[in-house]
Chains A and B, each alone.
Chain A
Amino acid sequence: AQSVTQLDSQVPVFEEAPVELRCNYSSSVSVYLFWYVQYPNQGLQLLLKYLSGSTLVKGINGFEAEFNKSQTSFHLRKPSVHISDTAEYFCAVSDPESGGYQKVTFGTGTKLQVIP
């Protein structure tokens, strides 16, 4: 079974500083990987996804993530955060062999707090 580990439950960072949110997954097969963001009292919004191809994936709001198969990681990065990036971020993994069936496993989330 797939699992996703987000190593940090909370990450405080000063405004305009860089940030990295860590995500590791366990799977013996190829995977599809996602990062979602959840603002207070809202649903999840897709930030970026890795399905195949380049291991460096760029998403919305200046975020990017790098797929590292050997380390089974998919860490999310942003070079300079803004106050508006304060939210909870979820890493998720899906099995491409499921044929489009929605077998998605989410991590427990990382709360990013941007400090002015």
Chain B
Amino acid sequence: KAGVTQTPRYLIKTRGQQVTLSCSPISGHRSVSWYQQTPGQGLQFLFEYFSETQRNKGNFPGRFSGRQFSNSRSEMNVSTLELGDSALYLCASKRSSSYEQYFGPGTRLTVT
């Protein structure tokens, strides 16, 4: 069974731009969560989507948004990028009734 895939793996953007990251969950997994990982803040929960609905949200500004499609694929968008948004963005999927998450390899975003 294929694992969680994230595209692109690496991205360089300029301050003020916006970016969209994509995540394809494991087949059959309807829950997708996004995390931001930085050396200073560690792993921070962004949001979780289930059946195209956001059902949980972390403490991030409105510049961070996401969506989920009917095939469970998810995208997250960051608008008006700031230098502090440079991070590894991880996506994780799971079955709806499970607590066991499966992580993708992440997208390394660098904002210059």
Contacts and interface: CB of A to CB of B under 8 A. Distances in A.
A and B associate in one complex: yes
Interface of A: 32, 34, 36, 41-46, 49, 51, 90, 94, 96, 100-109
B89 to A, nearest CB: 10
Contact of B101 (A51, A104, A107): A104
B61 interface: no
A36 B98 CA distance: 16
B3 to A, nearest CB: 9
A45 B99 contact: no
A44 B103 contact: yes
B70 interface: no
A90 B45 CA distance: 14
A107 B42 CA distance: 8
Contacts of B103: 36, 43-45
Contact of A41 (B92, B102, B105): B105
A46 B105 contact: no
Contact of A106 (B43, B94, B102, B104): B43
B105 to A, nearest CB: 5
- The listed residue with most A CB atoms (<10 A of its CB), out of B90, B92, B99, B100, is B99
A104 B92 CA distance: 12
A101 B105 CA distance: 22
Contacts of B97: 100
B96 A102 contact: no
Interface in B63-112: 90, 92, 94, 96-106
A108 B42 contact: yes
Contact of B55 (A94, A96, A101, A109): A101
B27 to A, nearest CB: 17
A103 B56 contact: yes
Given A46-B102, A90-B43, A102 B48 contact: yes
A102 B101 contact: yes
